[in-house]
Amino acid sequence: MSIISNIERYISLTEKEQKAFETICEKRVVEKHEFLVEPGQNCYCQIYVINGALRSYFLTPEGEEHTIQFALEDWFISDFNSYITQSPASLYVQACERTEVIEIGYLEVEQLCIEYPVFERFFRLVAQKAFAFSQKRALANLGLSATERFLEFETQYPNIVNRYPQYMLASYLGMSAEFLSKVRKKIKGFEER
């Protein structure tokens, strides 16, 4: 699915508006393990995944990774706090496979919104949806055990579970990689009866 038809799930665009949007899109390919954003760095853009797999995470002072978000085909990802406040990033955005992306710069978006207010609407709807989603995640993680969190996540995002290494899933779900291994073993035991 193209980024334009993705946008048109929220709003409809004239020919001219489509063209205007396309001019601010920067297509790019990143190899596995490569970074699109690094802490402190000046990459103020949102990233749209055409195909491949990205994730965002941060490092604690002790060196532990904490995954914030996964992004497969047709998802947006970035250090959003850094993006909207236009300040240095605190997250990494990293390719977990070879990935084709579109980068959309902050200044370009703001300019586009001024020229074509229809995009103001689009980015409002996207931000609202993202917020609702983020609240839902926070909610899902409160009051569930590690096993329940994993089961919930697996049924909602089976393709993510299959595509990312387990230690990343563990760091997203808020448990150690070792423990997730034990959780999955226990689940498998139940299924086999």
Question: Site for DNA (CB under 7 A): which residue of 145, 156, 158, 159?
Answer: 145
In the bound state with DNA, the residue whose beta carbon lies nearer, of 16 and 185, is 185
Question: Site for a copy of itself (CB under 8 A): which residue of 4, 113, 146, 161?
Answer: 113
**What is the C-alpha to C-alpha distance for residues 104 and 43, in angstroms, rounded to an integer?**
10
Question: Site for DNA (CB under 7 A): which residue of 50, 146, 151, 161?
Answer: 146
CB of 115 to a copy of itself, least distance (A): 12
Residue 182 within binding range of DNA, rule CB under 7 A: yes
In the bound state with a copy of itself, the residue whose beta carbon lies nearer, of 19 and 137, is 137
DSSP bridge pairs for 30? 99
**Listed residue (96, 94, 187) closest to 146, CA to CA:** 187
Q: Kindly tell me the sign of the dihedral angle through the C-alpha atoms of 134, 138, 140, 141.
A: positive
**What is the C-alpha to C-alpha distance for residues 180 and 166, in angstroms, rounded to an integer?**
8
Of how many residues is the chain composed? 193
Q: Scanning residues 151 to 180, which ones bind DNA (CB under 7 A)?
A: 165-167, 174-180
